[in-house]
Amino acid sequence: MSVKKLNIFLVIFFTTTKLFAAEINNHQYNFYTGNFDFSDNKQAAMLVGFQHQNENLERDTFFGNISPITGGFITENSAAYLYTGIEWNVDMGAITFTPSFAPGLYHKGDGKDLGHALEFKSEVQFSYSSSNNSKIAISYNHVSNASIGDKNPGANSYMFNFIKNF
């Protein structure tokens, strides 16, 4: 992805978020960047993405606090992944552990062929509250088609996250 495309994406996203921030509450936005498929030297690529969580829909269960998530990312090779799923928020004091699972649609663009349009993202995240409304986090995910495609190479990624509550 060119720097120009990245800047345009970020300007549109932050402007849209700013315009609607006064009208929404109890929403969490996770802005992240990292390295898509870092374990494959031939296919590794920078990624940027965002994720939304509506805290009005979260539920406390015997598994912990569960909430729906929706998001997506794009890589510098124009690969894109849009997903929706669930995450568990496990409060561990200063750190929150958040595993998640999200099926989604993948488009390879000029990037890695993952073998199918339907892919599944499993992720773990560790976040630290830097203020009442913000967190910083690191996360790792694996995207795979669970062998429903002709091939299933999968992709491993790591990200640095900035999480903001509105």
Contact 45, 38 (CB under 8 A): no
Residues in the chain: 166
Residues 6+ apart with CB under 8 A from 49: 31, 32, 33, 71, 72, 73, 74, 159
Task: Give tens-digit pLDDT for 57-114.
Answer: 888 887 778 999 999 999 999 999 999 999 999 889 889 999 999 999 999 999 999 9
- pLDDT at residue number 68: 95
Residue ranges per structural domain of the chain: 3-165
Quickly tell me which residue has 């030297």 as its tokens: 41
- pLDDT at residue number 22: 44
User: 60 in helix, strand or coil?
Assistant: strand
- DSSP letter at 111 equals S
Distance CA 140, CA 156 (A): 7
pLDDT of 14 strictly over 70: no
What value does the mean pLDDT of the chain take? 88
Distance CA 154, CA 121 (A): 10
Q: Which two tokens stand for residue 54?
A: 């509506």
The most confident of the ranges 13-17, 41-45, 102-106 is: 102-106
- pLDDT at residue number 15: 55
**Domain made up of 3-165: CATH architecture:** Beta Barrel (2.40)
Distance CA 131, CA 144 (A): 35
Give residue 132's pLDDT band: very low, low, confident or very high (50, 70, 90): confident
Task: Give tens-digit pLDDT for 78-93.
Answer: 999 999 999 999 889 8
- pLDDT at residue number 9: 59
Contact 135, 129 (CB under 8 A): yes
Higher pLDDT, 7 or 137: 137
- pLDDT at residue number 13: 55
User: 31 in helix, strand or coil?
Assistant: strand
Contact 131, 111 (CB under 8 A): no
For the segment 5-34, the average pLDDT, to the nearest whole number, is 66
